[in-house]
Structures are given as C-alpha cells and as structure tokens.
Structure 1
Amino acid sequence: MNFRELGISEDIINVLKVNGISNPTPVQANSISLIKEGKDIIAEAQTGTGKTLAFLLPIFENISPSIDEVQALIITPTRELAIQITEEALKLKEAKDINILAAYGGKDIGSQLKKLRKSIHLIIATPGRLLDHIERKTINLSKLKTLVFDEADQLLLMGFKNEMESIIKNTSKKRQTLCFSATISSEVKRLAYRYMTDPLTISIKKEDVTLDNIEQFVVETTDRRKQDALCTVLDQDNPYMAIIFCRTKRRSDELEVALYKRGYDCKKIHSDIVQSKRERIMKSFRNGDFQYLIATDVAARGLDITGVSHIYNYDIPESVEGYIHRIGRTGRAGEKGYTCLFVDPKDTVTLQEIERIINFKIPRRELN
C-alpha cells in the first residue's frame, strides 16, 4: 500500500518525498482512507509511529481552501505537541495553501487574534487557549468538518475532560471525530462512544513499535553515585543526540548544573521554563546545536525528535507505561536505539514490574 493508493494527491506526495517519507506506516495505511471517507476513528498507536500524518494527510485532502470557515480542529494536551503538529502541517502547506492557526498558552494572544482576522481553515490548539478564543467569540466552530483529539489519554489524565466536552458542544453535530492515543483507556472509550458515530477502532501493537529496535541496559548504582555513573556512561557512549530523563524539575535543574560544570553540552526543559525559551531550546536541540537534552516527563510529553540515538533514564519512571513512553523516543523509523536505566536499591520493585510487563530481563551494564 502506497500513499497514492490511499488517495493522497501528487502535490502532497512530492512534499512527503522531499521530507524523506516514501511509504505509509501501519497506522497511516490503516486510517487515511477511512478518515478521507469521513468515518469516526479511535486509533491506538505509540508516539513515533507516524500518527500525526495519519490524521493530517486526510485533513489536508478534505479541506477546501475556497471556503472561509474553520474546517478542522486538532486538540493536544501540551504546547510542545501543538508546536510539533503545526510544524508538520506547515510542511504540507507547501502542497496546499490553507490557513493554519496554532493556539496555545504562553504564546501572545494578540498575534493569534490578528491572524484570526483572515479566514482560518485548520486550528491546532491546547484546550484552555481554544476555549478562551471561543468565549471571546474570536473562533467559530459551527461549520467544523473534523475534530481530532490527539493523545486523548493524556488529555484526560491531565484533567481536560470538562474542556473537551465544552469544545465538542461548540462544534457541529455533523462533524467527524477522531481520537488518537498511545493507550485507549476505558475513560477514553466512554468519552469516544458518547460523542462519536459508530467509531472504528485501529490498534497498532506497542511491542512491535517500541521495543524491537531498542537495546536496553540497566546500571545498578546508588543515588549518591548516580551522577558519576551517568558521566561514565556518557563518556563511553558519546551519543550523537540523547535525552536524559529526570523525575522532577529540581532534579533536572541540579543535573544540568552538575553536567555543565563537568563540560557536557546540555540544556534542560521543564514546565517552569517560559514557553518562548522552551521553544528555542527544542528548536536548537532538533538542529543538533547541543548534545544532551535533560527533561521531565511533562515537558517531554509527545516530543518526536528525529535523530535521538540514546535515552538515559537518570531516574526510574513511575510506571511501566512511563518507561515504554520514554524509551520509545529512540529506535524510530527502523533505526537502532539505545537506552540505559539507572537504578538504586529502592527502585528494585519498580524495575521488576517493568521487566515483568515487557517480558524481558534487562541486561545489567557493568561500569569500570
């Protein structure tokens, strides 16, 4: 199955080729035609499986630039994810000139209001900022064709259920609704079946996606010696681009200072850093301007960065799902990935649970 057979136009196929994309991923192959036909979809697929294009491509095909209405709306839980989807959409805009608005907190609302003076066809937004616009009557969703909830599980987990329902109530009852999520919880299903029409379920198994191309290791250490152990591993691996995960903002602050003093090329992102600075850091990291990104889970939610070869779990994630989500940021698109998890004795139970769920005893890495 190729993009042409899925009904994607030549102009868009050419843009995909320029960006190094020639064949659809499983989630794209299974969903594009159905979305183009106007069906409601619940799709379960990990970050990094190409799900953003799975909904963006048919949305671009279905939008009519001559109609001065908001025709498609994509809701995401975080600003970072909204920025990423907007970047993908702007690439496709080269093939089809439609007007796109990114609406998220931390971005000057004045510039968004100015952009809204001309017709907008596609909006990519976080829930709070979108509802702000709806209350100001600066956005009208009454003619909306397609509504997408991306990372639906995270939207609910982060407490956006009421906002999601308010947004739905401001849209046309004839709309198409799409739910994309790394996991489809019972709460996602309840919300979906309440507001969707005969939704079709697409599930791309996470084991195939996440772990096959990823080499995993554990370093057993103590919290006092963890920093030295990390530096030993970084010196041995010298990765091209790596993300180092910390449990808290304070831990990432401390680690950035310590690594910087030791001469490592690193920057941190977490939710206390102002949005404009986070955007600059992420752009700089994507461009390969520095080697190590130190991140908390919240700040890194939904990040999809090409070229990350190594993931270091400086602190063990709180859940098995968190572990899979973190390490899934490497080993993308058939490339090999490498991960290293640093554990001290108090992490033993969590480590055993991770190994039980992924059905794999993670090899121990011995350090000199």
Structure 2
Amino acid sequence: MKFTDFNFNDNINQALGSIKFIQPTEVQEKLIPIILKGRDLVGESKTGSGKTHTFLLPIFQKLNPELDEVQAVIAAPSRELATQIYEAAKVFVKFDERIKVSNFVGGTDKVRQIRKLEAGQPHIVIGTPGRLWDLMSEGSLKAYTAKTFVVDEADMTLDMGFLAEVDKIAASFGDKVQMLVFSATIPQKLQPFLKKYLSNPVMEKIANKTVISDTIENWLLSNKGASNNQLILQLTQIINPYMAMIFANTKGRVDEIHAFLTNNGVKAAKIHGDIPPRERKRTMNAIKNLDYQYVIATDIAARGIDIEGVSHIINDEIPQDLTFFVHRVGRSGRNGLKGTAITIYAPSDDASIREIEKMGVKFEPKAIRNGEIIDSYDRDRREKRTKAPAEISNLTRGAIAKGKKKVKPGYKRAIKWQIEEENKKKRRAERNKNARKQRESRKQSF
C-alpha cells in the first residue's frame, strides 16, 4: 500500500512527497481509515511505529482553512514531544499557508501566547496538558469548537500526573468531539478515562512482531563491581557512534555522568526535567545540528524525544520500570537502520535481566579487554555446566539434607562415611552381577 491510496488532498500528498513518505507503517495503514471515518479510537502500538502521522494526516485532511476557529487539539505529556509533533505539523502548513498551527507548552512566555490568541485562534492546537488547560480555563484559547481531540502517549500522561488536566480538557468539548487516544501501553488506571469520554471506540492493538527491532544488537556488559562512570568513558573511547544516547534512572545520575564525561574531554549534552526550558530548547537544537555525539537523558526523554540517527544506546542502569527498557532501546534502529544497545549490569540485576529476556529480548554477553569490546561468557554458564545428579538412595538423600544443617563436627564425617559405604555396596553388587553373567556364560558353553 502507498500513501496515495488514502486519497488525501493535493497539499498533503505534496507534503508527504517532500519528506519522502511513500509507504505507510502498519499502524498508519490500519488506523488512518478508521480515523477518517470519524470513529473514536484507542490505538496501542510500540514507540517509533508512526503514531504522530497516523493522527496528523486525517486532521489535515478534514480541516477547513476557511473556518477561523480551533478544529483540533493535541495533548502531549512533555514539551519535547509536543514540539516534535508541532515540527511534524509545520511541514504540511508549508503547502497550505492558510492553516495556522500553534504550540503551547509550559515554561514558555504565557503572556505572549495570550496576545497571539487575541489576534486569532489557530486551526490546530498542540501542547502540554497543563498549559493547554491554563489557556482554556482563562478563556484565551477557545478550544470548545474542536472536532478532534488527541491524547498522545496516554500512559506517559498518566505516569506524569497530567490525567486530571486532560480530563478537564476532554470535558470542555461535549459529545461531538472525536477522541483519539494513542499509547505504547494501555494501563488499567487509564480505563475509567476511556470509558468516560470515548463513545463505542475502536480498540486497535498493533501487535509487535518483535519487542525490539531485529536490526538492534543487545549487548550485556557486567560492571564486575567497577565504576559505571569508568565503563561508560571506556565505551566512548571504543565505539564511534553517529549519535549515542546514554540513559540513567535519575536526574542526579544524569548530572553525575555528564560532569564526569565532560571533565574527561567528552562533548556531551544532557536532558532532564530540571533543566530550564530555554536551555533545553537550545540543547535540542544543538543535538539536531549534530553538535553533540553523546546525549545523556532520563526515561522521560526516551518517550518524549525523537532524535534522528541514534546508532547506539548505553544503559547506565536497568530501568526500574522494565517497559522503559524497550522505549530506551527503541530510540535506535529506526527505519530499518542498524543499532546497538549496550546495557551495563551488576550481579544484583540478574532477576531484572531474566524478566527482560522473557519479553523476547536476546542479549549477547560482552566484555572490555585491551581497549576492545569482545564476546564474553554467558552469565548462566555455571548453571548450564552443572551435571545431572546421580541417583542416590533416600537414606543418603536424608543424610545430605541433615548435613546442610548446623550439626556437631563429627556428624559430617559420619555422613561422608555413610555415603562411601553405600557406594561400596553398589560397586560390590555390580561386581557380583557381572560374575553371575560370566558363570551363566560358561555353563552355556559346555
């Protein structure tokens, strides 16, 4: 199938051609026709599957530029994700300059945004839930005319505590708005919201053929009790990434890795929620201009930022929420390109690694030796090498069990002697059995 099969208007087809979009992804092929029919939808699919254009294309197709009013509202849980959607939307505006698109996110100049709205309402509104509701409740943003409301990354919206604002926004539209909810997962806590606002929705889950793209190699690197900082520094000296993202579990850890690497001459950027909006914007622009080869980020960035050309992922730690492992690694290996994800682990992480493996992820054990990354042994090698225990009697089994308990010093010697005596009896019985066979053989020969 091709995008031209959707019968989009000429302006949309020209925009798609300009960004070399020819064939839709699986999620786009399945969900765009449903959205064009005006149905409410819950679309569940993995990160990087093309959800953004799945809702943008029908919105632009149904939009009437002659109506000077808000026709679609798109809520995204992070500033970066909202800006990313805004940038994707601007491509289509180039081919129909009558269409007005605005991006309203927290941490930016609210007074300036209000003045802009006083001059005229945009056709498409994109933003973070807090800022959108702020402008709507004050009457500056007249979003009640919207025909479509999109909640992008709904599970992340829930995790970040924005569901109350999204609830208020949804309540302001009435029954006529088309509700589109997109998410990588649909947690149970989201169900009441879906039942409250969606009318007989199409529930579409795009099954992952593989949890992680098969173009990504997953390497497992034991820290063996050493400093992760030193290991990450060694990796930067060995790999030569087009772009590498280093993920840590906390903002403090991001700061720590960033300080260590920069002090050791590595040019790296950092992104997390405590960095002021203007600085984050400057950093993102620098990253897009390839001014940095390394980007250190928290898990929010794993969900909210789409950085093109990420060739390597380095996990400083295994994420506390294991689903974020998929989101992190999914930053690499996009559009059929190869990627490498390197996960640093400690012995205490073994249970988490097993859980990730149950999700279908196959790890390749690696080690660093003489400035090179080499194949290493499987961390389960001892278990795999263990031989099946020989048959033992109930008496011996009981004796061994008792031997594991705290006993008097001479008792273990008695257990050992008992096992040796039982083995002697087995050998004696085997000799007698062989002797009988020999006697029977001699009798038959006479």
Instruction: Give the structure-1-normalised TM-score.
Output: 0.96
Aligned residues: 367
TM-align CA RMSD: 1.5
Q: Is the 8 A contact 2:28 2:53 kept in 1?
A: yes
Q: Is the 8 A contact 1:7 1:33 kept in 2?
A: no
Match of 1:346 among 345, 348, 359: 348
Q: In the alignment, which residue of structure 1 is the partner of 2:317?
A: 315
1:216 and 2:218 are equivalent in the alignment:
yes
- Segments of structure 2 that go 5 or more residues without pairing to the other structure are 370-446
Task: For residue 114 of structure 1, report the CA deviation from its aligned partner.
Answer: 2.0
Task: For residue 103 of structure 1, report the CA deviation from its aligned partner.
Answer: 0.9
- The structure-2 alpha-carbon separation of the partners of 1:145 and 1:209, relative to structure 1 and needing over 3 Å to count, comes to farther
CA separation in 1, counterparts of 2:217 and 2:335? 15
Q: Is the 8 A contact 1:193 1:199 kept in 2?
A: no
Q: Is the 8 A contact 2:211 2:359 kept in 1?
A: no
Structure 1 segments (4+ residues) deviating >6 Å: none
Q: Deviations over 1:166-197 (max 9, x none)?
A: 11111132110000000122233332232111
Task: For residue 311 of structure 1, report the CA deviation from its aligned partner.
Answer: 0.6
Q: Deviations over 1:317-349 (max 9, x none)?
A: 112201011101111111111100001122222
Higher relative contact order (CA 8 A, sep 6+): 1
Aligned pairs for 1:75-94 (under 5 A) are: 75-94=75-94
Q: In the alignment, which residue of structure 2 is the partner of 1:238?
A: 240
Q: In the alignment, which residue of structure 1 is the partner of 2:359?
A: 357
Larger radius of gyration: 2
Amino acid at match of 1:129: R
Q: Deviations over 1:72-104 (max 9, x none)?
A: 000111111111000101111112231111111
Q: Is the 8 A contact 1:101 1:115 kept in 2?
A: no
Aligned pairs for 1:50-199 (under 5 A) are: 50-97=50-97, 98-116=99-117, 117-199=119-201
- Segments of structure 1 that go 5 or more residues without pairing to the other structure are none
Q: Deviations over 1:9-57 (max 9, x none)?
A: 2322222222232211111111112212211111011221111000001
Q: In the alignment, which residue of structure 2 is the partner of 1:24?
A: 24
1:292 and 2:294 are equivalent in the alignment:
yes
Q: Is the 8 A contact 2:246 2:296 kept in 1?
A: yes
Q: In the alignment, which residue of structure 2 is the partner of 1:324?
A: 326
Percentage of identical aligned residues: 39
Task: For residue 291 of structure 1, report the CA deviation from its aligned partner.
Answer: 0.2
1:367 and 2:368 are equivalent in the alignment:
yes
| SS, match of residue 365 in structure 1 | strand
Q: Is the 8 A contact 2:211 2:326 kept in 1?
A: no
More helix by share: 2
Task: For residue 235 of structure 1, report the CA deviation from its aligned partner.
Answer: 2.1
Task: For residue 209 of structure 1, report the CA deviation from its aligned partner.
Answer: 6.3
Name which of structure 1's ranges 90-99 and 207-216 shifts more when overlaid on structure 2: 207-216
- The structure-2 alpha-carbon separation of the partners of 1:35 and 1:248, relative to structure 1 and needing over 3 Å to count, comes to same
| SS, match of residue 203 in structure 2 | strand
Instruction: Give the structure-2-normalised TM-score.
Output: 0.79
| SS, match of residue 317 in structure 1 | coil
Task: For residue 211 of structure 1, report the CA deviation from its aligned partner.
Answer: 3.0
CA separation in 2, counterparts of 1:295 and 1:53? 25
Amino acid at match of 1:115: K
